[in-house]
Every structure is written in structure tokens, then in C-alpha cells.
Amino acid sequence: MPYVPHSDDDVRRALAAIGVDDVEALFADVPEALRDPPIELSAPLDETALLKRVDELAARDRTTGPDFLGGGLRAHFIPSVTPHLAFQSEFVTAYTPYQPEVSQGILQATFEYQTMMCELTGLPASNASMYDGASAVAEAALLAVRQTKRETVLVSRGVHPETIEVLQTYLWPLGIALEVIELEDLTTPVPDVSSEVACVIAQNPSFVGTLEPMRSLADAAHGAGALFVAAVDPLSLAVLASPGEVGADIAVGDGQTLGNPVGFGGPSFGFMVVTEPLLRQLPGRLVGQTTDVDGKRAFVLTLQAREQHIRRSKAKSNICSNHQLTALMATINMAALGPQGLREMAEGSVRRAHQLADALRAAGGDVRTGARFFNEFVLCIDREPATLRRALSERGIRAGVSVPEAFGLGFAVTLATTERTSDDDIAALVSALGDLGVLASARQEVTA
């Protein structure tokens, strides 16, 4: 049997040592009525048959061709060295580093991760990772509620729609109100913040690609004694003002763009970095530096009195397993690329997006952006986004993330670029959209 080493003789020996006659005796505590339920599974496959089945299935997935999909996940360049190093057996098959003497690999790499996230975000205290960007935003809101003892959360419409859904899920059982700030010109207006508000949450670049007025939003929050939560794309921070620089109290986001594949949406990892006064409110694991008995520098899980295994029902969060391995991917990837490489990726993505927007406009496309946009923007279209996606896919192009109705744009999609986007990719998309009549219809409207 796969993965189980026991020979018949091993089983006999073990049973004799235990002092029972057969293996069924080991399950005597299971009530008769519960034993041997009808479970339906298909017949086992050997490795060759399994991989054949996988190949058949994988052949039904499009993973090549021009790709303009974003919406929080993008297929950036990942150097071969990154997964090669991160997927070493010792990292992949270790548990949480509870025994620090034999877990310095994970612990030190996590300390390096925390340092890199502090450098990127300009804030001083990072935890060891969260599940994903959306749940990290929700945990940030809960942190703000704990810290301010206030019960309303203000979130910009420009925050990823799925993130807003997750916020709702986390806030309703605690009776925390969630209010949405609607966009004006695809940009978050500076809101009136009441004294009931625990935090203001904005995303930069926003779901529709806009560079938000982060400094003004932070000031508005602070003016009312609320915290400001910046949900950011970490790769953008190679060039954009950091959350620390704009005055955010908490930086959160999804780390996929730092070196994890899009992976059909997971696993990537979430991150959370905060100001010094919020340190002891952080959910999840933290790695700290210390010394060992010989005076050597060493690393250990620390400030665990915040966590569920110590504080149980009084813990800051129920999070236990986090996303350490995908955070390690990001750590190694950031070290592989360095500030220069990350900057080149961010800049390349920005330039390609502006080239694409220009090309679409020139071809009559109804491109919409805020005053400034990063590497993603809106194209208003004349049909259901899913219909357009299908039509483009049939032409070998992956593009067109739906913009939900709540944005008030009618039928609209976002288009995203990376440093991997080529001139040919852009030409292919513009031409396909033209063929499909998506651009022509806009031109007619404009001239009419």
C-alpha cells in the first residue's frame, strides 16, 4: 500500500507487543453502528496513471498566451532560483518552529521576512504572515476595533470587492458596522470621519488601478482619532510612497506579487505590518531575535501571550497555521531581485499599462482611470464581462476581470500588465478587442 511501510510480519509483531489479536481490536472503542461506513471513492491510481490523469486535466486549462489578468494576482517574473530554494525538503516538510534549536532555518528566514516587510512598508513591526490579503485586511479592522474600542469601520469602494465581502464576514458576528465610501472619478474622496470610527481602510493602487490620496485619507482618519489601514500591493512599494511615509498605522495586503505563482488564487500569503504602539495587538506568530546560552544570536517565536494556544478565548485572533512557506518564497524572491530588480518589475508594469491604455484610447476604447493609475485600469465595454472574457479566451488571450455593478460603471473590466507584457501582447489585445467590436462601439458613441 502506498506510503505505509508495514509488512504482514511487522503488523503481527506490533499486535503481539500491544497485546491484542487483530487490528480490529484497536478500534473497539468505535461504536458498532459507526463502523465501516459507505464511502464512495474512485479506484486507486498508480503514479503513472495519476500523472496521466493530471495531464489530461491540465490540458483543459489555458496557462499560456497574452495575459492581462490582475484583480490582486498577477503573473510576474519569478526567477528559477526562488522556488528552487524555497522548496527544499527541510522548509517544505517542517512544522511550526516550536523547538527553536532545530528550527533556526524557518525562524531566521521569517525574521528576514519580517525585516523585508518593514523595509517595504516603512513600518516597524511585521508578523510572520497571515492567510491572504483579504483576511489580513479583516484582521486589521479587528485590530483597530480592539485598539480604539470603537465599532464602525469605514472602507473605500476602491478596496477589492472580495476583501469587502471578507470584512463583512469577520465584522458581523461582533456587531461592528461597515460603511463604504463611494468613489468619485474612480478615486476615494476624503471622507468625514466620525468619532465612532475605528479605522479607515483604503487600497493603493485601488481595485480599479487608481493611485489614491493616501496622505489625505490618513490625515482624515487621524483627525477623528481613528487608525488608517493601507491595503497595498507589496510590489508597487518598490516605487510608491510606503504606508509609513503616508502615515498609515497598519499596512496589509497579499504577497502573491512578490514571487508566488497565481495558483488559481492560492496559496499566496497575507502580510500585516504595524506601528510600534500596535505591536502587542498583532494577530499571529512573531519571530524575535535573542541569544542562546553560548551568547550566539538566535531566533525564536515570541510575544506568544497574544496567541490562541496561550490565551485561548482571549487571544487576539484564532490564527494558528499561517502561510510561512509562501512568505518564504517572497523572502527569497525579494533577496534574489533586490531593490533594483523589484523596481524594474514595478516600473515595467507601470510603463506597459500606460502603453496599453494609450493604445486602447487611440483605437477608440473607453478607458477610465483616476488622476493617476499604476499597472491596471478600467475599460468600459458594451457587453457582460464574462462574455468578453470567453471571446478573448477563444482568441488565446486571458483578460477582463469583472468590475462589479457597485462601481456604477455599467459593463466594465480591468486590464493589468506586468513587466512580462510584450509589444506583441498589447497589439494582440487591441486587435482582438477591435475585432470583437468593443472599441468601435465606444468610438461611435464618442463621435455621435
Partner 1 sequence: MNASHNAPVGVDAADRFRDASFPLIFERAAPGRRAARPPVVDGAPMEELLGEEHLRAQPPGLPEVAELDLVRHYTQLAHRQFSIDGNVYPLGSCTMKYNPKVHEEVAKRFQDVHPYQDEASAQGVLTVLAELQDDLASITGMDTVSLQPAAGAHGELAGILMIRAYHEAKGEGEQRRVVICPDGAHGTNPATASMAGYDVVEVPTGPDGEVDLDAFRAALGPNVAAVMLTNPNTLGLFETRILAIAEAAHAVGAQLYYDGANLNAIVGRARPGDMGFDVVHLNLHKTFTTPHGGGGPGTGPVGVKAHLAPYLPAPLLVRRDDGSVGAEGQRPTAIGRLRSHYGNVGNLVRAWAYIRTLGLEGLRRVSTMAVLNANYLRVSMREAGYQIAFDRVNMHEFVARPPDGLKTLDLAKMLLDYGVHPMTVYFPLVVREAMMVEPTETESIETLDAYAAVLGQVLRDAQRDPSLAHDAPRNTPVRRLDEVGAARRPILRYQVPKA
- Rule CB under 8 A: say whether 149 interacts with partner 1: no
- Of the pair 225, 267, the CB lying nearest partner 1 is at 267
| Interface positions, 350-389, toward partner 1 (CB under 8 A) | 350-352, 354-355, 371-372, 374, 386, 389
Task: Select from 77, 59, 44 the least CA-distant residue to 341.
Answer: 77
Q: How far is the CB of 321 from ligand PLP (least distance, A)?
A: 3
255 and 234 in contact (C-beta within 8 Å)?
Answer: yes
- Rule CB under 8 A: say whether 228 interacts with partner 1: no
| Interface positions, 34-73, toward ligand PLP (CB under 6 A) | none
Distance CA 236, CA 303 (A): 31
- Rule CB under 6 A: say whether 290 interacts with ligand PLP: no
| Interface positions, 295-324, toward partner 1 (CB under 8 A) | 296-298, 300, 302-305, 307-315, 317-324
Q: How far is the CB of 18 from partner 1 (least distance, A)?
A: 5
# of chain residues touching partner 1 (CB under 8 A): 209
Q: How far is the CB of 447 from partner 1 (least distance, A)?
A: 29
334, containing H or E segment: helix 324-362
CA distances from 7 to 12, 13, 18 (A): 9, 10, 17
Q: How far is the CB of 205 from partner 1 (least distance, A)?
A: 9
Choosing among ligand PLP, partner 1, none, which partner's interface includes residue 219 (Cβ < 5 to 8 Å by kind)? Answer: none
| Among the listed residues 264, 424, 446, 447, the single contact to partner 1 using CB under 8 A | 264
Q: How far is the CB of 283 from ligand PLP (least distance, A)?
A: 12
| Interface positions, 238-257, toward partner 1 (CB under 8 A) | 238-242, 245, 254
- Rule CB under 8 A: say whether 200 interacts with partner 1: no
| Among the listed residues 148, 151, 168, 361, the single contact to partner 1 using CB under 8 A | 168
Q: What are the grid coordinates assigned to 23, written together?
A: 487490528
- Rule CB under 8 A: say whether 326 interacts with partner 1: yes
- Of the pair 58, 320, the CB lying nearest ligand PLP is at 320
86 and 101 in contact (C-beta within 8 Å)?
Answer: no
Distance CA 311, CA 433 (A): 56
The beta-carbon contacts of 357-364 under 8 Å, at least 24 apart in sequence, are 359/426, 359/427, 359/430, 360/415, 360/430, 360/433, 360/439, 363/430, 363/433, 363/434, 363/439, 363/443, 364/439, 364/440, 364/442, 364/443, 364/446
Q: How far is the CB of 448 from partner 1 (least distance, A)?
A: 31
- Rule CB under 8 A: say whether 281 interacts with partner 1: no
330 and 256 in contact (C-beta within 8 Å)?
Answer: no
- Rule CB under 6 A: say whether 115 interacts with ligand PLP: no
| Interface positions, 295-334, toward ligand PLP (CB under 6 A) | 320-321
- Rule CB under 8 A: say whether 447 interacts with partner 1: no
Q: What are the grid coordinates assigned to 399, written together?
A: 483578460
Distance CA 327, CA 201 (A): 23
| Among the listed residues 209, 253, 348, 364, the single contact to partner 1 using CB under 8 A | 348
Strands 401-402 and 412-416: antiparallel
- Of the pair 265, 277, the CB lying nearest partner 1 is at 265
Task: Select from 329, 261, 266, 383 the least CA-distant residue to 116.
Answer: 329
- Of the pair 35, 447, the CB lying nearest partner 1 is at 35
Phi, psi for residue 273 in degrees, rounded to 5: -130, 135
- Of the pair 316, 364, the CB lying nearest partner 1 is at 316
DSSP 135: H
Contact footprint for ligand PLP (CB under 6 A) = 320-321
